[in-house]
Amino acid sequence: MSNRPTNHESFEDYFVHTQQAMESLLASDLEGLRTAVMGAGKSGSTLWVAGNGGSASTASHFVADMVKSSTGFGGLSVRTVALHEQVALATALANDISFEEAFAEQLRFLAKPGDLFLYLSVSGTSPNLIQAAKTAREIGLHSACIVGSKGRELAEQLCEIPIVVESTDYQVVENAHVILMHWLCRVLQDA
């Protein structure tokens, strides 16, 4: 399903495309993500989040909501860190090793077995996110990803919990990212 908008698309059509993408999500995958995030909170594990571009912005927004909103309402607290926000470390690693390894190296240095790694990507094919997912598996992290339909194959190979938004439209997939991040915060508020 493409869901690619035209320049003359009405708001109603745009909304329908986002709704169709959200309806494409599998309840079992969402339950797996909910369980993994709640499990991280209950065990005291860290949730490591990463993305590039707009997905990085969504991940940063998610971290803020996780830290403030979930705990601010007396809900379950989950230590949450966005790898791309470690600016000095990420850029030093990108410069001294490679951009592809910048997130993976942070996980090697900072994460511990049993932590959870979540990456957000529209394409699902970003080399730095792929390498981080491989590293997460190597060091014993649980892993989840939320990707657009182009990233299905890699997501299913790399992540324990692959969530695929059935759209190739960047805006629609990014809408789904935000909706899912807000849903997870709500789940934790009520825990």
Reading the block at residue 129, the tokens are 């996110």
Range of the structural domain that residue 149 is part of: 12-159+173-189
DSSP-based helix, strand, coil % in the chain, nearest 5: 60, 15, 25
What pLDDT score was predicted for residue 72?
63
C-alpha dihedral (20, 22, 26, 30), degrees to nearest 10: 180
The pTM (predicted TM-score) of the whole model is 0.91
- Residue 3 in any domain: the answer is no
What pLDDT score was predicted for residue 50?
97
Q: Residue 116 and residue 136: Cα distance in Å, rounded?
A: 8
Three-class SS of 76-103: CCCEEEEHHHCHHHHHHHHHHCCHHHHH
What pLDDT score was predicted for residue 73?
67
- Residue 2 in any domain: the answer is no
- Residue 55 in any domain: the answer is yes
Q: CATH code at 60?
A: 3.40.50.10490
> Tens digit of pLDDT per residue, the chain (191 long)?
455 656 678 999 999 999 999 999 999 999 999 999 999 999 999 999 999 999 999 999 999 998 887 666 667 889 999 999 989 999 999 999 999 999 999 999 999 999 999 999 999 999 999 999 999 999 999 999 999 999 999 899 999 999 999 999 999 999 999 999 999 998 888 87
What pLDDT score was predicted for residue 135?
98
- Residue 7 in any domain: the answer is no
- Residue 49 in any domain: the answer is yes
- Residue 6 in any domain: the answer is no
H or E stretch covering 48: strand 46-50
- Residue 166 in any domain: the answer is no
Angle 74-78-80 from CA coordinates, rounded to 5°: 130
